[in-house]
């Protein structure tokens, strides 16, 4: 039986740091409020002309450097993003060109913060079916360019970054054991960028109304996220006949510390078994899970044979999980 195994991870964070104190000077907020309500202390923001494919390239390059796989060996590139360089061509095609991955097909996938795990789900199915052998999956976001820096309810949350994994077919009894993806489009209005698409194309009016920025009903989103992620995590473990105590590490989407704590509590997992970097990077949407995975691997928190649970929740609404045996 073929499985997809993660053979390398990589990530990239822009250098510029914006602290909560910096935000206190821009909007009516405080370090205390942001820390208490979200767990975020600072976030990374791109320099002027950096775009999603630039961040993706750095993360992919970092992953490729760690393995025998060369860019020309890739046969598929999936880029999860909702902040791509431009409507088209896809950010995945721009990345393919930068990497020189000339044998790879490339496409973008939009599932907001769940995008990376949606990408893993897709790559896993393609590897298991034998259609593809070596796949690069990237989550990359430049949310700072879609953030309304006058809106204190959103600008305190988001950050920029990218994370990447290289997947290869294996016959070993490890790799991706299962993935779950789900959506509820009836709640699309909870998080969206209303302008700039075919519904409300760019015009003087859409710009004046600030419709090209993220709009979020934060508290409503928070409640759905807590409920959904608790259920998703329990279901994923149950379907794999695993007890939460067998889990080595939960690697959650870093949206809000209180959401993460609620999921851990429901599973009865001590916080030592939960990987956190929200304090440093905020919510980087589809990049958050692969950045966290890369940092967990690089810091030695992931060992051969470990069970890892990845989970995410985001705009769409979408949610997703992946259970991995390392
Ligand atoms: O990435 C995937 C999807 N996104 C999420 O999962 C995000 C989920 N939501 C959240 O993380 C939280 O809802 C937020 C952090 C966005 C907001 O926290 P909250 O505890 O839900 O606050 P709230 O929206 O209920 O607002 C409480 C109060 C309000 O004031 P009043 O009406 O009680 O006077 C807000 O106006 O806090 C006020 N507020 C702020 N105060 C200081 C909202 N933003 C700020 C701020 N600084 N930045």
Count of CB atoms within 10 A of residue 88's CB? Answer: 9
Q: Which atom of ligand 1 is nearest to the CA of 255?
A: 1
Q: Which atom of ligand 1 is nearest to the CA of 155?
A: 48
Domains (range + CATH), the chain = 3-172 (3.40.47.10), 177-325 (3.40.47.10)
CA angle 37, 42, 43 (to 5 degrees): 110
* Ligand 1 centroid – CA 190 distance (Å): 13
- Candidates 38, 152, 184, 219: which one to mutate for ligand 1, based on the most atoms within 8 Å of Cβ? 219
Question: Does the Cβ of 186 fall within 6 Å of ligand 1?
Answer: no
User: Active-site residue among 124, 155, 253, 256?
Assistant: 253
Q: Is 283 a catalytic residue?
A: yes
Q: Is 103 a catalytic residue?
A: no
Which H or E run contains 38?
helix 31-38
- Please report the pLDDT score of residue 48 as a whole number: 84
* Ligand 1 centroid – CA 154 distance (Å): 8
Do the beta carbons of residue 36 and residue 89 sit within 8 Å? no
- Please report the pLDDT score of residue 173 as a whole number: 87
Count of CB atoms within 10 A of residue 54's CB? Answer: 21
User: Active-site residue among 113, 124, 132, 256?
Assistant: 113
- Please report the pLDDT score of residue 136 as a whole number: 98
What is the block-wise mean pLDDT of the chain (326 residues), using blocks of 10 residues? 95 98 97 98 95 98 96 98 97 98 98 98 97 97 97 97 97 94 98 96 96 96 94 94 95 97 93 97 98 98 97 97 97
Strands 160-170 and 307-314: unpaired
Question: Does the Cβ of 46 fall within 6 Å of ligand 1?
Answer: no
């Amino acid at each position: 039986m073929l499985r997809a195994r993660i053979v390398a991870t990589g990530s990239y964070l822009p250098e510029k740091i914006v602290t909560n104190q910096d935000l206190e000077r821009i909007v009516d907020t405080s370090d205390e409020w942001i820390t208490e309500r979200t767990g975020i202390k600072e976030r990374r923001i791109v320099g002027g002309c950096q775009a999603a494919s630039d961040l993706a390239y750095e993360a992919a390059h970092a992953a490729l450097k760690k393995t025998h796989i060369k860019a020309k060996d890739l046969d598929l590139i999936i880029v999860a993003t909702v902040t791509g360089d431009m409507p088209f061509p896809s950010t995945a095609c721009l990345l393919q060109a930068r990497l020189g991955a000339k044998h790879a097909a490339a496409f973008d996938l939009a599932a907001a913060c769940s995008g990376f795990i949606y990408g893993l789900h897709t790559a896993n199915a393609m590897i298991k079916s034998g259609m593809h052998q070596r796949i690069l999956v990237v989550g990359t976001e430049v949310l700072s360019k879609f953030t309304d820096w006058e809106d204190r309810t959103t600008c305190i949350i988001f950050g920029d970054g990218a994370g990447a994994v290289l997947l290869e077919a294996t016959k070993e009894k490890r790799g991706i054991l299962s993935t779950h993806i789900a959506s509820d489009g009836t709640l699309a209005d909870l998080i969206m960028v209303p302008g700039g698409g075919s519904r409300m194309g760019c015009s003087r009016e859409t710009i004046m109304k600030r419709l090209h920025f993220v709009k979020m009903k934060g508290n409503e989103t928070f409640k759905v996220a807590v409920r959904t992620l608790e259920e998703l995590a329990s279901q994923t473990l149950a379907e794999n006949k695993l007890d939460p105590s067998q889990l080595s590490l939960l690697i959650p989407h870093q949206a809000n510390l209180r959401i993460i704590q609620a999921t851990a509590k429901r599973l009865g997992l001590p916080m030592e078994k939960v990987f956190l970097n929200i304090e440093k990077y905020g919510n980087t949407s589809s990049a958050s899970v692969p950045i966290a995975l890369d940092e967990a691997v690089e810091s030695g928190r992931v060992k051969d044979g470990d069970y890892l649970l990845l989970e995410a929740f985001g705009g769409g609404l979408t949610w997703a999980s992946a259970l991995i045996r390392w």
